[in-house]
């Protein structure tokens, strides 16, 4: 019932630009229902709407990566972080503290494709963040972990 009410509220929620969120794109709600992330086709950026403050801002405005609408943002279970895949890397956005976006992968021209491991569509709240990777050139598959405190990505091959 709460999900239906959230959707109904979202369908009629006006952004400062006067456009409806539902008309803009698919809205990815945080697990606590306080934030909405969506892709703005006009600007080519992911936008964040804070439901409590009725305020919208760009998450990806100053991030040098190619973002497209088909990449689904992933929320951490506690709604503190949202993860968005760009053309080259996966980025972590801290919603509650407003820190600068953090790049959690380092592809830099390597033929690696990373995906975050999720449980029921959410990133677990326990660090390290679990990822899988696939080398599009060699076909090699593996697992990776992003360690927040060390700010390191550690990869392990899987046969």
- Minimum mean pLDDT range among 17-31, 76-90, 131-145: 17-31
Closest CA to 50 of 74, 90, 82: 82
Residue 89: the pLDDT is 85
Of 7-11, 103-107, 142-146, the least confident: 7-11
CA-angle at 130, arms to 124 and 136, nearest 5°: 140
Tokens describing residue 20: 């409806």
Other C-beta atoms lying within 10 Å of the C-beta of residue 59: 19
Per the structure block, which two tokens stand in for 89?
């890397």
In the predicted structure, residue 108 carries a pLDDT above the cut 50: yes
33-57 per-position pLDDT tens digit = 999 999 998 888 999 999 999 999 9
Residue 58 has pLDDT above 50, yes or no: yes
Please give the full DSSP string across the chain, using - where no structure is assigned.
-HHHHHHHHHHTPBPTTS-BHHHHS--EE-TTSSEEEEEETTTTEEEEEETTTTEEEESSTT--S---TTSPPEEBTTSSEEEEE-SS-EEEEETTT-PPPEE----TT--EEEEE--BTTBB-SSSSEEEEEEETTT--EEEEEEETTTTEEEEEEE-
pLDDT at 156: 66
d(C-alpha 41, C-alpha 21), whole Å: 12
How far, in Å, CA of 104 to CA of 97, rounded? 18
Task: Tell me: pLDDT of 128 over 60.
Answer: yes
């Amino acid at each position: 019932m709460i999900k239906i009410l959230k959707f109904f509220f979202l369908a009629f929620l006006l952004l400062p630009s006067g456009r409806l969120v539902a008309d803009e794109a698919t809205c990815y709600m945080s697990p606590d229902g306080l934030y909405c992330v969506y892709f703005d086709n006009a600007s080519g950026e992911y936008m964040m709407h804070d439901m409590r403050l009725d305020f919208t801002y760009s998450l990806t405005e100053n991030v040098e990566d190619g973002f497209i609408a088909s990449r689904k943002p992933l929320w951490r279970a506690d709604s503190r972080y949202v993860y968005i895949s760009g053309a080259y890397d996966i980025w972590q956005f801290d919603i509650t503290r407003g820190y600068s976006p953090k790049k959690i992968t380092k592809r830099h021209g390597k033929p690696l494709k990373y995906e975050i491991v999720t449980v029921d569509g959410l990133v677990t709240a326990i660090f390290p963040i679990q990822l899988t990777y696939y080398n599009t050139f060699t076909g090699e598959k593996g697992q990776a972990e992003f360690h927040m405190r060390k700010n390191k990505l550690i990869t392990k091959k899987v046969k």
